[in-house]
Structure formats: C-alpha cells, structure tokens
Structure 1
Amino acid sequence: MNGLYALKPWYADRLSGVRGALAARRVSPDALTAAGVGCAAGAAAALAFLPAPLAALPVAVLLTARLAFAHLDGALARDTGRMTRRGAVLNELGDRAADLLVIAGFLPLAPLWLVAVAAFASTLPSWVSLAGAAAGAPRRNGGPVGKTERCLLAVVVAATGWAVPVLGVVAAGSAVTALVRFGGVWRALGQPTETDQREPVTVASAAPARTASTPAPLPRRRPALTLNTPSTQASRSLALDHGEVSGGVSHTRARSSVEYGEQARGNR
C-alpha cells in the first residue's frame, strides 16, 4: 500500500534534467535540503494568513517544490558521490522539520490540541521506518497517508478551509500508516538473514589430535624410595655408578658389592 508514493519513479524522471543541471553547477545537496524546509515554511505561512481559496495556489506550488527538493537532495548526493553520514542526518531532520512546519500552518485554523495530535501522528510513520532501518530491515516508505498525501491534504485545506476534518484525517491516517509500516518491518525482521542461515562454526581444541604415527608420551616414573640399611646397601651400589647424595648434603663414591661383602665379613 504505497499510495501516491508509487508515482515517485515517474516524478523522478521528470526531475532528471533538473538533477543534471544541479550536478553540473556543483550545488550542495544540503542546500537543497534547506530549500525544502524553506518551501514548507512558506506554504505554512500562506496557509495560515491567506484566506481560502486564495491560499490554494501558493500552497500547492510551494509544497510541490518541497517534495521536489526532498527527492533531489538525496538523488544529487548519489549522482555526485557526495553521500555522507552527516548529509543523511540532515536529510532526515529536514524532512521532519518540513512536516511539522506545514502542520503548524493549521494553528490559526483549528484547536491547538488537534494540531498537536496531528503533528505528533504525522511523525510516527517516519520513526517506524527509521527504527526498522536501524535494525537491518529495508526502509519502508509510502502508505495511506504518507508525506505526499499530507501535502495534498494541506492543499485541500488551503482551497476549502476545512481544517478540522482534514486534521482528523491526517492524525488517523498517519497512525494507520505507522501500523502498516510496522507490520512490514516486523515481517522483514522475522525472515532469516544470510548470517542466520550459516552453519555454526566448531572451534577446534587447542591441543593437537594424536594420530596413529604419533607415539604416546611415556609416563613419568617417580624415583623409588629405599631405606639406607646394611641389607639394602649392596643393591643400591649396583644402581649407582658415579656417586649418590647421602642425606641431601654430600656425595660419596659408590662401592661395589665386593667391598660391601668384605666389610660384612669383617664385621662378624
């Protein structure tokens, strides 16, 4: 349900020559954003201070220019390679400011509370679209009462003076548009992304796997404890060929089993 937003490709084709001329003159996209806000302020002034139906023509011309500048600033930035994050912020702020300025033109024509409700509701569709885009969903535009439809309704008020019923349509239609966009964003975010469809990666263990050709490590043997008694000195002498530590303090020369045997016979 794109509403009048479906006419944007046709409108963009009509503006292609203007876009080329602006690019040749190196006009800044930010200047076009500011021009769109200025047109919205002029339309609000005409709506507030000119009687119907005299306000219809200037409001229609200024809001048509406001929509043209809203398209041209982004298109010119893409064509000339001057797309920046600051420009994107200015573009969004300029659109919101222009919307609120047009609604402010209804202040002399309707109760303050109704103007405030319509102003708040008119921003809801954009906030839903921005929140969805921030979460990774495609940017949602259009709807039953989007930016283009609100400009058309302002022209209707300028021609007829029916401010109160038109503000009611703006408030209710903007709320419905926000719900429609939210539904589209919710469905888009529920679809699995390419990252979600990837198989989980198994992290390999830091210890290398042992293969059949890799010998198993030999167990470390603990030294056997022997008692330093005359009955075990003969067996200890066979294991020591360079010397041993006695009591952890001094080294003594290893003696053969023959010496221990002779000493044993001499001690009988």
Structure 2
Amino acid sequence: MNGLYALKPWYADRLSGVRASLVRREVSPDTLTLAGVVCAAGAAVALAALPSGYSAPLVAVLLAARLAFANLDGALARDTGRTTRRGALLNELGDRAADLIVLAGFLPLAPLWLVATAGLAATLPSWVSLAGAAAGARRLNGGPVGKTERCALVVLAAASGWTTPTLMALTAGSAATAALRLLHLWRDLAPADPTAQGGAR
C-alpha cells in the first residue's frame, strides 16, 4: 500500500546534506513548511498560465521542491529538538493547503465541479489517517495515490494536457487510498477481546 512513499527513506538520505546545512544555519522547520506551500502556489500558477507541455518542467521542479520541503521540515525539527505541537499543526495544515492550492491551478483548465471533487478527494486519505492517529492507531501514509503520486499526476497533466482524465484518475485513486487506509485502521483498531464493548461515539 505504500506506493512511492516506500522511497521516503532513500529520498531523506539524499537530502541529508541539505538538512545538515539547514541545521547549521538554524533555519526554522516552520519556514520550510511555508516554503512548501509557496512552491505549491508557484506550481499552480505555472499550470494555469502556461500552455501544456511548456509548463511541465517548471511544475515538476516546483512540486519536487514542495515534496522536499515536506520531507525536510519534520526531519529538521527532530534533528534540532524543535518538535512542537504548534509545528505539527502547521505541518498538517501546510500539507492540506499545498494539495488544494496545486489543484486550484486546474480551475482555468477543467470544470469547477471536477476540480472541487478532486480537491475533496485529495484530502480524504489524510483525514482518515489523522482520525486513525487520534484513535491511537499508527499514522498511515503512502499510496496507491498518496501525496507523491498526486504530484506525479499533476506533472503528467501539465506535460500531456490530459486534464480531465488526470483529475478523474486523481479523484478515484485518492478515494481508493482513503478506503484502503480506513480498512487497515478498522482492522488495527479491532478489540483484542471479541466480547469487548465499543467506546464512546
């Protein structure tokens, strides 16, 4: 189920030099979170303003940077002992905002209902994971259409101009990912004792 998320340890290792440089410069993890949102906004503008094909390289670079910042902010916070509840909140809000901002770049290119549906679907896997974590389960990440795959689909749309099919694939894949995560969580949270009563609802 991990999809491209399985590459995260390898990717984090590739960024270790950058992370060490950020530690030396005492860069705030929150700054990196906000930088990821700015990169998402840049990708959205490029997607909306440039012709398909021409926008693809810039969208790819900006979304790669958005993923790098999403990887670096938490790692930097752990490396420097600056993990805080406010930082965790900002991280989650930044990730959701970046997802929605990128998809807003499709507004001039596709029907509003489709872009809105894709935006809603893109947030579902994270909401399911956060609900599971709130219930005491492990935090689930990854695919089949997680954050990395969504970025890859946006780059595909920028390169090909296949806006509607890509948004439909993103919507269906995100919904399937949310359903799979919910299934995993439902199993993980099952009472050890079959006779145990459910908690408060």
TM-score class, shorter = over 0.9
AA aligned to 1:54 is: Y
Answer whether contact 1:30 1:90 (CA < 8 A) is retained: yes
**Could you say which structure has the greater relative contact order, defined with CA pairs below 8 angstroms and 6 or more residues apart?**
2
Quote the residue 1:230 is aligned against: none
Partners of 1:23 and 1:191 lie apart in 2 by 43
Partners of 2:75 and 2:135 lie apart in 1 by 24
Answer whether contact 1:145 1:174 (CA < 8 A) is retained: yes
Partners of 2:20 and 2:160 lie apart in 1 by 38
Quote the residue 1:160 is aligned against: 160
Quote the residue 1:146 is aligned against: 146
Instruction: Normalising by structure 1, report the TM-score.
Output: 0.71
1:187 aligns with 2:187: yes
Answer whether contact 1:143 1:180 (CA < 8 A) is retained: no
Partners of 1:40 and 1:19 lie apart in 2 by 20
Total equivalences in the alignment: 194
Answer whether contact 1:43 1:59 (CA < 8 A) is retained: yes
Quote the residue 2:19 is aligned against: 19
- Describe the superposition over 1:11-56 as per-residue Cα deviations: whole angstroms up to 9, x where unpaired: 0000011011101111000000000000000000000000011001
Partners of 1:143 and 1:187 lie apart in 2 by 18
Quote the residue 1:178 is aligned against: 178
- Describe the superposition over 1:203-257 as per-residue Cα deviations: whole angstroms up to 9, x where unpaired: xxxxxxxxxxxxxxxxxxxxxxxxxxxxxxxxxxxxxxxxxxxxxxxxxxxxxxx
Identity %: 73
After TM superposition, the structure 1 = structure 2 runs for residues 118-129 of structure 1, keeping only pairs within 5 Å, are 118-129=118-129
AA aligned to 1:173 is: G
- Describe the superposition over 1:177-210 as per-residue Cα deviations: whole angstroms up to 9, x where unpaired: 00011111111111539xx9xxxxxxxxxxxxxx
Quote the residue 1:3 is aligned against: 3
Aligned structure 1 segments of 4 or more residues deviating by more than 6 angstroms: none
Quote the residue 1:73 is aligned against: 73
Quote the residue 1:53 is aligned against: 53
Instruction: Normalising by structure 2, report the TM-score.
Output: 0.95
- Describe the superposition over 1:69-102 as per-residue Cα deviations: whole angstroms up to 9, x where unpaired: 0010000000000000000000000000000001
Partners of 1:143 and 1:177 lie apart in 2 by 6
AA aligned to 2:132 is: G
Cα-Cα RMSD: 1.2
Partners of 1:160 and 1:191 lie apart in 2 by 48
Partners of 1:36 and 1:191 lie apart in 2 by 39
After TM superposition, the structure 1 = structure 2 runs for residues 1-268 of structure 1, keeping only pairs within 5 Å, are 1-190=1-190, 192=192
- Describe the superposition over 1:90-130 as per-residue Cα deviations: whole angstroms up to 9, x where unpaired: 00000000000011011111000000000000000000000
What are structure 1's unaligned runs of at least 5 residues?
Answer: 197-268
Partners of 1:191 and 1:126 lie apart in 2 by 24
AA aligned to 2:103 is: I
AA aligned to 1:52 is: S
Partners of 1:41 and 1:97 lie apart in 2 by 10
Higher alpha-carbon Rg: 1
- Three-state SS of the structure 1 residue aligned to 2:189 is helix
Partners of 1:52 and 1:109 lie apart in 2 by 10
AA aligned to 2:143 is: G
Answer whether contact 1:143 1:181 (CA < 8 A) is retained: no
